[in-house]
Structure 1
Amino acid sequence: MVQLAPEGVLTPLRIGDFTTEAGVEIPDVTIAYQRWGEFRGDADGNNNVLLVEHALTGDTNVADWWCDLVGPGRALDTDRWCVVSTNVIGGCKGSTGPASPHPDGRVWGSRFPAISIRDQVAVEHQFLRVLGIRHTHAVLGGSMGGARALEWTLMYPAALSSACVIAVSARASAWQIGIQAAQISAIERDPDWQGGDFHGTGRSPDAGLAAARRIAHLTYRGEQEIDERFGTTPQSGENPLGPYRSPGQRFAVESYLDYQGVKLVERFDAGSYVILTDSLNRHDVGRGRGGLNKALASTQVPTMIVGVDTDILYPYHQQEHLSRNVGNLLGMAKIVSPVGHDAFLTEFRQMDRILRRFLDLSTAEVAAGEGRGGYSI
């Protein structure tokens, strides 16, 4: 019998040792998770589990960041589905990461190994097996979560009936690696980074993390949206057009980006930011699989691809590439929004329609195949 945590409660689960694909062992890994809705069906076959993957600085609280999409009667209807979300390994929201205790009693810090998207998925697969769940109805997520969902279809195709891959590519482009490497550099050049061993010293690379967030946030939002909101307007009470440049005299958009940086510093660990950003740089489904198109064609998991028309970080042509090459395309959807990459987190009405369509199509696929356990959702 599957035993899940109380609904909505962040719960740590020890899943045992894990060895990264690069060969480093992480002993006694803990993965934190939350769930909403009751489990129904066969733990080894057809059931109602939806594994929802968070983005880079997201967390397990899907009911918060997809608040209009999770709950009774909503697209991810918790009267019908069992929604499960983990905090990724390397993160800082309850799962083992750089800020976690090392077996020697100190903090992992700089000793925490590099993590790939494939490692994230392998850990999650191990987590589900510890829970007693060997199959899910669907894996879905956006951005880094979309990369995880895509890797699920390639690494463990027998463990899921469908996938929804949102706002991501088949591999990191040189531009993405460049912009993400700049963010990592901003943190590592902060003197308070201390080589990654800043935990417990009373000093942390807050300035570097805030700078990284400012860079990143410009790729998360659309150029049109940012310009319409701020244009060349000065921040209230400040004058960026004075006779001398001053960091205290800002345009309104600078103040907005400063605010985004402060917000992230208050809730996220710089070590986790570096580890997880690096994992996005390592994303490449074609590596070791004969190249991108051969790898994508090899999966037979019914997969829906979703993109955003104004996405700067993962341009829509990258989702078009996925849709042309995945072995079993369930559907393709475009979010039309000035918001850019973050539209999958803000355009709830469009996402509602997309997710309902995805679940209708994936349920029909299971029914057509008569399923493994004959479970009817």
Structure 2
Amino acid sequence: MPVDAVADVAELGEFRFECGESIDELEVAYEAYGEFNGSNAVLVCHALTGSQNVASHRTQGTAGQARAWWSDIVGPGKAIDTTEYYVVCANVPGSCYGTSGPASDAPDGEPYGTRFPPVTIGDWTRAQRALLDHLGVGRLHAVVGGSVGGMNALDWAVRYPDDVQRVVSVAAAARLDPQCLALDGIARRAITTDPDWQGGDYYGTGEKPKDGLGLARQIGHVMYLSKESMDQKFGRRSAGRDMVRDAFPADPAADFFPYRDVESYLDYQSEKFVERFDANSYLYLTRAMDDYDLSEGYESDAAALAAFEGEALLMSFTADWHFTTDQSESVAEAFRTDDVPVAHHVVESDHGHDAFLVEPENVGPPLRDFLQSGVRGRAVTDTEKDDDAGEEPDFAPVHNSLFSG
């Protein structure tokens, strides 16, 4: 069923970034679903290259993940039920889907490019708070986010602990580990060493760093998949000698060797990505993610979360090596230290990090029940029903079936 949405761009006035720099007018593109009743607002935080278009199916707009990227989770009768909740999703500062970022025009009429101020996840949270004020929304029923959006959700518990009742962080962590920092660094280097990047001033030149951004996206896709999922999806199969390598030129010897399915997949993904995303935005957003540290300014993660008095749900996936189950459990333990009711729901999955996008049957039930009843919710899926009796048997509360009690 198509989801109706209000899509708009809010002009929020002067905005001072955490780096100390300001812009005269922060514009935030957002979509809102459902009706606000004063206490039913749910903020959804998108992932790195996602957009505000979390659920609606528009005939115009961006392609790929940016279009209806969580429509299996958000909508009428779904886990985040738009007939029950007022759902808001905002494109974050630094991105390229309508919110102010490097590709936006500066006061001089030219694109900001790398003149745009450095952006942090804290800036995302503060911009979201400003947008909600603009919309007349005070305290949130919940903040929900996946991947770096899950970091964004955790930042709400630190920065605005009195403004949110429930926090859901899916496939996220308190901070990136050195391996992911290294891969993000290589991805950025691929962009900045592309001659067409031109120091970030490629707007209006007719050129853009497609090769560098494409390579960065390929590195990202490898991070999002697991060994198991790559083996199942591609193996060592050849895509065929007649397949065209459009994305990147091949060396002369390549014709002797097979062009493998996994290479073809990555080339296809990079070609689609460079059509819809801005290279400078990729630089800005990955740096915001890399910089995030839940405990920054505090003695520990628990100390950072100490003022939060709501409830929390962490969800992780066993084959996700980008944000691991151990990293989610560490955040859950920080909540427990503060006596915050918390559930850590671990999903057995071989999909890797992308599981939070492609396994709605595993993400939806615990999310739905947590939004309704907190950690007392019961995650009952259709496959768990007692078909013989025609009734649902008793199930353990969500938190009783979780990792490390």
Matched with 1:136 is 140
Question: Residues 284-329 of structure 1: CA distance to partner in whole angstroms, max 9, x if unpaired?
Answer: 0111112334324453331111111100211111001111111313
Q: Is the 8 A contact 2:146 2:171 kept in 1?
A: yes
Higher mean displacement: 281-290 or 242-251: 242-251
Give the letter aligned to residue 44 of structure 2: V
Aligned-residue offset at 1:247: 10
42, 45, 48: which one aligns with 2:40? 48
- Tell me the TM-score normalized by structure 1: 0.89
Cα distance in 2 for partners of 1:40, 1:301 equals 20
Give the letter aligned to residue 209 of structure 1: L
Question: Residues 192-239 of structure 1: CA distance to partner in whole angstroms, max 9, x if unpaired?
Answer: 111111111111001100000000101111110111111111112359
Q: Is the 8 A contact 1:91 1:276 kept in 2?
A: yes
1:61 maps to 2:73: no
70, 79, 85: which one aligns with 2:83? 79
Matched with 1:44 is none
SS in 2 for 1:11: strand
Q: Is the 8 A contact 1:323 1:329 kept in 2?
A: no
Q: Is the 8 A contact 1:13 1:32 kept in 2?
A: yes
Aligned-residue offset at 1:363: 9.4
1:280 maps to 2:280: no
Correspondence list, 1:1-377, <5 A: 7-41=4-38, 47-63=39-55, 64-238=68-242, 244-246=253-255, 249-326=258-335, 327=338, 328-362=340-374
Distance 1:246 1:108, change over 3 A: farther
Q: Is the 8 A contact 1:187 1:209 kept in 2?
A: yes
Moved segments of 4+, more than 6 Å? none
Greater RCO structure (CA 8 Å; 6+ sep):
1
SS in 2 for 1:88: coil
Distance 1:248 1:111, change over 3 A: farther
Cα distance in 1 for partners of 2:353, 2:133 equals 33
SS in 2 for 1:217: helix
Aligned-residue offset at 1:65: 1.4
SS in 1 for 2:75: coil
Give the letter aligned to residue 257 of structure 1: L
Q: Is the 8 A contact 2:370 2:376 kept in 1?
A: no
Aligned-residue offset at 1:250: 1.6
Q: Is the 8 A contact 1:238 1:248 kept in 2?
A: no
Cα distance in 2 for partners of 1:121, 1:73 equals 28
Question: Residues 110-141 of structure 1: CA distance to partner in whole angstroms, max 9, x if unpaired?
Answer: 10111111111011111111222121100001
Cα distance in 1 for partners of 2:122, 2:320 equals 24
Q: Is the 8 A contact 1:102 1:108 kept in 2?
A: yes
Structure 1 unmatched ranges of 5 or more: 1-5, 42-46, 366-377
Cα distance in 1 for partners of 2:126, 2:166 equals 17
Aligned-residue offset at 1:249: 5.0
Aligned-residue offset at 1:7: 4.3
Q: Percent identity?
A: 38
Cα distance in 1 for partners of 2:34, 2:6 equals 12
Cα distance in 1 for partners of 2:12, 2:205 equals 30
Cα distance in 1 for partners of 2:204, 2:304 equals 43
Cα distance in 2 for partners of 1:296, 1:211 equals 37
Cα distance in 2 for partners of 1:59, 1:174 equals 27
The count of residues paired between Structure 1 and Structure 2 equals 354
Cα distance in 2 for partners of 1:75, 1:143 equals 18
Q: Is the 8 A contact 2:341 2:375 kept in 1?
A: no
Q: Is the 8 A contact 1:70 1:76 kept in 2?
A: yes
Aligned-residue offset at 1:331: 1.2
Structure 2 unmatched ranges of 5 or more: 56-67, 246-250, 378-405
Higher mean displacement: 244-253 or 181-190: 244-253
Cα distance in 2 for partners of 1:243, 1:115 equals 42
Aligned-residue offset at 1:276: 0.3
Higher mean displacement: 130-139 or 229-238: 229-238
